[in-house]
Structure 1
Amino acid sequence: MAGLRELKKRRTRDQLVAAAVTLIRAQGFDKTTAAQIAEAAELSPRTFFLHFATKEDVLLANAAERTAVGVAAIADARPGATVGATLLDAVRRMIGHNDSTDAADGLAALRAELIATVPAVRARVAEHALTAQDELTAALCAGHGDDLDPVEAAARVGAVVGAVNAAMLAALRLGRSPAEQRDAMLRAAELAIDPEGTSRAR
């Protein structure tokens, strides 16, 4: 039963996201309301607010799940893996998650456009990014114990997350294809971890 409930929840959320993308594309973010999104998805406003606190949060529909993918990857790192290798694997899995969710349904492209033009969206995305970095940093510290200073862990995670996000936004704004966006994000992660390209991960 739990599996069926989760599937229904996912389908409902996907309906709301699809409706939001269509409406915001058609009439703009500011003119789109939560009630309109719910109506377009053939759902009630109450259902909308069961899934999202605000319409800004629709743009981050898969963000918490993507962070969880990264945290799980860090926790599952092979014994003896370096910090760089652990981070790179986590980022690869998170990018794979993005490929199958936000990039596939147009949410990533829309979010990038709105970050540049809508202060409320930019603030909400930045808030989530900080939360995600904290969770990834905590996971990295837990996995590497005394071998990694918490400040260094935060710096490493921040560098990688910042590089990946910057590459994604640049690729989207340049009209690059989803495959090119993915390559840009992966390359950005590699550069952040190993700027000189002397190894795949340190």
Structure 2
Amino acid sequence: MSEVPGLRERKKIRTRQALIAAALELFMEKGYEQTTVSEIAAAADVSTRTFFSYFASKEDVIFYNTRDGIDRVLRVVAEPRPDDRAIDLLTRAVTSVFSELVLDGQLQREIGPVNYLVMTVPSLRARSLLLLFEGQRELAEALHRACPEELSLVEASAAVGAVIGGGKLAAFVSMSNGASPEEMLDAGRQATEFALSALRAASRVS
């Protein structure tokens, strides 16, 4: 059973969520570049100093859950079940990401604005691509460590790139064509399932 956060921890969580909500609202209303940290802090009813105790910059607000997502999939790959193959670990890792989105109402509300900003603000798009590359690199290395006799590092990199890259690309393409956040997520899910099916078929042949 997970431990219930104490009063102090709950207050910190509420403050962090208030900062994220205020930042996204201001970014969508005023524009990312035009919004200041001071305005975000004021909208969340905290000081600028408090903002910087949670985030190093306003850019970090946009990518606040990226590290958590990477760590989640790495934990899945680091804990193989008996008789697991690489495709099983990769499937479970990807499924854990979509499961978290289903369970986390805050993430569902924020995914639309976050992805819109990433698509329209060049500095955020560049940071997003860097984080995507780094996350895929970490996952590929973890998958190779878990199944060294099944996949070389090159093969693990190709598998991760196909699944994660394909899902991200499908989501962004659908959104650029006017899809809703729900439709965007569904496009990402379909693309990852397609890539996983192809990899699963290839593993049966090899």
Q: TM-score range by the shorter chain?
A: 0.7 to 0.9
Change (3 A) 1:63 1:130: same
Query: What are the superposed Cα offsets for residues 28-78 of structure 1, whole Å, 9 maximum, x if unpaired?
Result: 111111111111111121221222222111111111111111111212332
Aligned counterpart in structure 1 of residue 109 of structure 2, from 59, 81, 105 = 105
Equivalent residue, structure 1, for 2:142: 139
Aligned counterpart in structure 2 of residue 74 of structure 1, from 60, 73, 77 = 77
Change (3 A) 1:146 1:102: farther
Structure with more relative contact order (C-alpha pairs < 8 Å, separation 6 or more): 1
Amino acid at match of 1:137: A
Gap runs ≥5 in structure 1: none
TM-score by length of 2: 0.84
Equivalent residue, structure 2, for 1:170: 173
Q: CA RMSD in A?
A: 2.7
Contact 1:82–1:201 (8 Å) recurs in 2 = no
Distance between the aligned counterparts of 2:186 and 2:171, measured in 1? 9
Q: Which SS does the other structure have where 1:147 is aligned?
A: coil
Moved more, 3-12 or 87-96: 3-12
Change (3 A) 1:30 1:11: same
Q: Which SS does the other structure have where 1:16 is aligned?
A: helix
1:122 aligns with 2:125: yes
Amino acid at match of 2:108: A
Contact 2:159–2:199 (8 Å) recurs in 1 = no
Query: What are the superposed Cα offsets for residues 171-199 of structure 1, whole Å, 9 maximum, x if unpaired?
Result: 33344344433332221112223338859
Gap runs ≥5 in structure 2: none
Change (3 A) 1:201 1:33: farther
1:12 aligns with 2:19: no
Q: Percent identity among equivalent residues?
A: 34
TM-score by length of 1: 0.86
